[in-house]
Amino acid sequence: MTATQGGSPAQASPVVAQVAYHDGEFMPLERALLPVTTQALQYGTGVFEGIRAYAQDDGSLAIFRAHDHYRRLLRSSRTLRIDPGRSVEELCELTAELLRRIGTTEDTYIRPLAYKRALLPGQKPGVSLSGVSDALSLNAFRMGSYTDPAGIRCTISSWRRPTSDTLPVRAKVTGGYVNNALAVDEARAAGCDDAILLNSRGQVAEASTSNVFAVIGGRLVTPPVTADLLEGITRDTVVTLAADLLQTETDFRDMGRDELAGAEEVFLTGTGTEIVPVTELAGRPVAEGTPGSLTTALMRAYQDVVRGREPNYRHWLHHVHA
Ligand SMILES: Cc1ncc(COP(=O)(O)O)c(C=O)c1O
């Protein structure tokens, strides 16, 4: 996606903070290394999250929907028989401590990773989930908004989203992201910013690291979880804000690519992406080729909420006290 002047200062390439949590302790990032024999590296048997912490107007820092991200991490972990050894509450506190040690109050992206490490003594070699040790690492880097608020160009990928009987698509599994990487690679080779993937039934699933919304006939529409998508936390935030602040209910229903192409508005939602208008789809403009009014209103509302300006949603903010 294009680096731009978003809701906060643009940073084309993130600045890496010099502290990580690894092997049960905080350490300089350059020491947070793994052997090439790591099972997750060889077989893709890891699960992860992408979380943002936002600078608040009073100069403090708050992690957005930390509990929900860690609830999903623990759900994903169970799918791969990984035990990160920490509760949701402990993971939130560990993250806050990492940010304190980094010492930043600027917008930050946090990457927790729970993974399979090494065969336990006496275990037979091979691809396995049990009989393998588990590990947890966290790193974070300063990162502002990086998508273009004026809109991005998407392809419809020739890669299909895997079905839930091929991969646990509702878990954020590292190995599954080969599919997403191939889709992005194809989109960029075609001069676009991102790819929208259809599922095995030919219905819209999601974008490479975001969920898809459209305004069709004046209604806000997003594919249901049964469309083989990752149930995004930003997706849930948008559904909530649309209903509470903009009196707009969301229809959860299947959408074909032709319906998406004829929509009045299309936008993507994700922790990294935040909310970004799609102004061109498969080589054609979406409506007039400019961000739509509902998309723009949601983008504004989202920035107000993540920065603590909306009292009704402050329970979504986990403060990183100095
Ligand atoms: C495949 C995929 N879909 C959707 C999303 C959006 O999820 P969230 O809003 O929780 O970041 C992400 C990002 O985590 C993703 O990787």
Label residue 86 by pLDDT band (50, 70, 90): very high
Whether residue 315 lies inside any domain: the answer is: no
Q: How confident is the model at residue 322 (pLDDT cuts 50, 70, 90)?
A: confident
Q: Give the pLDDT of residue 211.
A: 98
pLDDT of residue 14: 55
Confidence of residue 16 (pLDDT cuts 50, 70, 90): low
Dump pLDDT digits (tens) for 71-82. 999 999 999 999
Find out whether 154 and 214 touch, Cβ atoms under 8 Å: no
Q: In terms of domains, do 119 and 259 share one?
A: no
Q: Mean of the pLDDT values across residues 294-298?
A: 98
- One domain, residues 157 and 293: yes
| Domain termination site, one of 142, 174, 190 | 142
| Domain finish residue from 142, 175, 193 | 142
Q: Measure 70 CA to ligand 1 centroid, in angstroms.
A: 14
pLDDT tens digit string along 201-250? 999 999 999 999 999 999 999 999 999 999 999 999 999 999 999 999 99
Is the pLDDT score of 3 beyond 90?
no
Contacts of 283 (CB under 8 A, 6+ apart): none
- Is 6 a domain residue? no
Based on the fold, state whether residues 96 and 207 are members of the same structural domain.
no
* The pLDDT of residue 13 is above 90: no
> In this structure, what CATH number is given to the domain that contains residue 159?
3.20.10.10
How confident is the model at residue 238, as a pLDDT?
98
* Residue 31 domain flag: yes
Structural domain boundaries, residue 29: 16-142
Asked if 171 and 70 sit in the same domain, the reply is: no
Q: Ligand 1 centroid to 121 CA: how many Å?
A: 36
The per-residue pLDDT for 15 is 56
25/42 Cα distance (integer angstroms): 24
- Shared-domain flag, residues 121 and 158: no
Q: Do 108 and 166 belong to one domain?
A: no
Confidence at residue 9, expressed as pLDDT on a 0 to 100 scale = 36
On whether both 220 and 132 belong to a single domain, the answer is no
Neighbours of 273 (CB within 10 A): 23
Quick check: is 195 in a domain?
Answer: yes
Domain boundary among 142, 173, 205: 142
Count of domains observed in the chain: 2
Indicate the pairing of strand 274-281 with strand 152-156.
Answer: parallel
CA of 35 to the centre of ligand 1 (A): 28
Task: Please check whether residues 202 and 278 belong to one and the same domain.
Answer: yes
Q: Whose CA is nearest to atom 13 of ligand 1?
A: 209
Query: Which ligand 1 atom sits closest to the C-alpha of 233?
Result: 10
Q: Ligand 1 within 6 A of 222 CB?
A: no
Nearest alpha carbon, ligand 1 atom 15: 209
Domain CATH for 86: 3.30.470.10
Residues 220, 134 within the same domain: no
Cα-to-centroid distance, 160 and ligand 1 (Å): 16
| Co-location of 113 and 244 in the same domain | no
Instruction: Provide φ and ψ at 47, rounded to 5°.
Output: -130, 150
